Homo-oligomer: A and B are copies of this chain.
Amino acid sequence: MLLSALLMSVGINSCLCVLLFILYSILRKQPHNYEVFYLAVARYIPSVRWIWKSWRPSEEELMESSGLDGVVFMRMITFSLKVFLFAGIIGVFVILPVNVFGDQLTQINYADWSANSLDIFLFLAISALFFIACRLWVHFGAIYLVTAFVCCLLYLEFRYIGMKRIEHFHSSKPQPNQFTILVRNIPSSDGSTVSDTVDRFFRENHFSTYLSHVVIHRTSKLRSIVDNAKKLYKKVHHKKADPVRVKKTPMRFFSRKDTPEGHYEKVLQELEHNIRLGQAEVSSPGKEVRAAFVSFKSRYGAAMALHMPQSANPTYWLTEPAPEPHDVHWPFFSASFMQKWLSKIVIAFACLLLTALFLVPVVLVQGLTNLSALEYFFPFLTLILSMKIVSQIITGYLPSLILQTSLKIVPPIMEFLSSFQGHICHSDIQKSACNKVIWFTIWNVFFATVFSGSAFYKLSVILDPKEILFKLAVAVPAQASFFIAYVVTTGWTDTLTELFRVVPFMVSYVKRSLEPTEEEFEVPPMRYHRDTPRVLFFGLLGITYFFLAPLILPFIFLYFILAYIIYRNQFINVYEPKYETGGMFWPMIHYTMIFSLVLMHGIAIGLFALKKMELATYLLVPLPVFTLLFNEFCRKRFMPIFTAYPAEVLTKRDREDQNDPRMGEFYHNLVSAYQDPALRPLRFSGSRNDSLTSPLLSSTSSEV
């Protein structure tokens, strides 16, 4: 890639940045968005005040608006900011000058720099590394220093978030999932229903703490009927409640029998009848799944049943923490054991295949964007392509854009795949998808670029443990120019487009203000499995390249500043958390950072060995070992907080509740908290009033 093409990309990118910022700062001040942004001044004049404002909100506000997951997400960005401020200072003010004042610089023709390949720029960083062995000691020291800094920060962050998690638990209201566990593989006993078996077992073995249970039923068919009915009801209800439309179609109102509304109501009545029949059928013992949500009188009681092995046959009475009631992913309970098992294997295989072979079509499409290919396929473009600016856009900007755009389809695919993997709650699906996307990105962007060649060649490189360090040491520095281009061309724009994810939300808000309905206002959830891997990947790039090409560090620092402003100002303020994983994303972030560090060490060891600096090589070997030991220590020290709450925390909360008069009501609600939504009484028509259905009810009951 030519330097001029790169500069062109930076130019495009920066212009887009400014444009998007201006657009956004105007849009957010429009009257329809008042209620979203709580601002009402100086419309149509772009301003920067909101940027400064975004630095201000405290973590408590963030916690309130986006939950612990939002806090963890933002801490990931501030963590990266700290790391790259430190690494950037060392990289730019220590490593870069050491390289610049190396002997080899005299050979560069500065006059002709713009026509040179980008590698000249990087020469500042790498040339010295390759030719002046003694200067490697500076890099050696920098590697130790940065590793120590990152590890210290990781420790502090892990501790802080673990503490926050417990604080969050202490300050939370009593929640059904704190008092409930999910029990699976309930053994069948002759002549008694699953419900009876559960009741008997827990009355016998946990008599002092057991409260109630809800057996899960096979409701997949019923659920689809209920969903259809709800959609239809919404449609009808929306039309009824819409005064504009009513005015527009006055004629139809008189000929009731023929109105679509009348027709819909009949259909709804039928559906309602079907649902009632279905509910009665599903509630029979024959449709019971051998799984149940079991609730206890105290958090301590639930934890006790969760942690203790229950049965003499350890494959029965398997316990796991219950998710929040609205977080439960009901469809998968109905699947049989074989179905679950098969789908797990199939999904794992599909993920591996997608990850390994994703690049094949992308590289093919990217190949079409070089000038000669374009001229061959579209001869009429020859004139335009001969313009310098166009050719620079095409070589510098288009390939990255294609890669970045095709990467956008990955998170939804991974989420879709994860949803079939047997997870019982949406948050687990998100976590699993997030993990998949992280490794997908590292494999398809980092390793695919570093080891250019077929997917199988790459696989063989990774699987050959003896050679991998040397191959990395040769291949990684050679790709520095690509990754700088990657950061400056697509990194910024990509993150900026996030600003406009808010647009559909704004549109629906505008529509609502024009046509007021009683429909629930649907706030889009934060999609962590999409945003976390992207941010983490820039972190990995920064850590891996910090001593190879320190020039990358200011760009990555800028990226994180941008990311901070963008994510802090809104998304977090606009999006509403649908469910809370309680900071479960942090361990993933931690492990990815550790992976980045060890990867960086591996590259450094390979590089030092290639340069025949034996002492430095041997002195570096303990570093990845210590990093992995540190990781092991963190895992032992902090992970238990992320898997279960300890006894002392539980008993403290339980004791606080003892004198709370509201607990009676809470227990009353707890008994039915985990009722399958498909089995809840639903009335689209009928004689009784229901807050949700009353408008329709009153009309339909008088009509029929």
Contact = CB atoms under 8 A, between A and B. Distances in A.
B307 A308 contact: yes
Interface in A631-647: 636-641, 644-647
Interface string A300-325: 00011101111111110000000000
Nearest to A204: B651
A163 B314 CA distance: 12
7 contacts: A201-B648, A204-B648, A205-B648, A308-B646, A313-B637, A314-B639, A315-B637
Given A315-B636, A315-B637, A637-B315, A648 B310 contact: yes
Copies in the complex: 2
Nearest to A304: B304
Closest 3 CB pairs of A and B: A314-B640, A307-B307, A309-B646
Interface string A165-193: 01000000000000000000000000000
A204 B314 CA distance: 31
Interface in A180-238: 201, 204-206, 208
A654 to B, nearest CB: 10
Interface string A100-127: 0000000000000000000000000000
Contacts of A651: 204-205
A639 B309 CA distance: 11
A644 B309 contact: yes
Given A208-B208, A310-B648, A311-B648, 16 more contacts: A163-B312, A166-B312, A201-B648, A204-B648, A205-B648, A205-B651, A206-B647, A303-B308, A307-B307, A308-B647, A312-B641, A312-B648, A312-B649, A313-B637, A314-B637, A314-B638
Nearest to A165: B312
Given A304-B304, A307-B307, A312 B204 contact: no
Contacts of A308: 303-304, 307, 644, 646-647
Contacts of A648: 201, 204-205, 310-312
A647 B166 contact: no
Interface in A150-170: 163, 166
A641 B312 CA distance: 7
Nearest to A303: B308
A315 B312 CA distance: 30
Contacts of A644: 308-309
A453 to B, nearest CB: 21
Contacts of A314: 636-641, 646
Contacts of A638: 314
Contacts of A641: 312, 314
Nearest to A162: B312
Contacts of A649: 312
Contacts of A315: 636-637
A374 to B, nearest CB: 45
Contacts of A305: 647
A417 to B, nearest CB: 23
- Size band of the interface chain A makes with B: 20 to 34
Q: Name the residue among A636, A638, A648 with the largest chain B CB count within 10 angstroms.
A: A648
Nearest to A643: B309
Interface in A375-424: none
A315 B649 CA distance: 15
A91 to B, nearest CB: 35
A205 B311 contact: no
A316 to B, nearest CB: 9
Given A166-B312, A315-B636, A647 B303 contact: no
Contacts of A310: 646-648
A214 to B, nearest CB: 21
A201 B315 CA distance: 34
B206 A309 contact: no
A247 to B, nearest CB: 62
A26 to B, nearest CB: 48
Nearest to A644: B309
A640 B309 contact: yes
A181 to B, nearest CB: 13
Interface string A639-683: 111001111110100000000000000000000000000000000
A248 B639 CA distance: 72
Contacts of A163: 312
A299 to B, nearest CB: 11
Contact of A205 (B205, B645, B647): B647
Interface string A30-58: 00000000000000000000000000000
A313 B645 CA distance: 10
Interface in A86-102: none
Given A651-B204, A651-B205, A646 B312 contact: yes
A305 B647 CA distance: 8
B311 A646 contact: yes
Contacts of A166: 312
B309 A647 contact: yes
A163 B647 CA distance: 31
Contacts of A206: 647
* Residue with the highest number of chain B CB atoms closer than 10 Å, among A307, A309, A649: A309
Nearest to A307: B307
Interface string A4-26: 00000000000000000000000
Contacts of A640: 309, 314
A409 B201 CA distance: 52
A391 to B, nearest CB: 48
A303 to B, nearest CB: 6
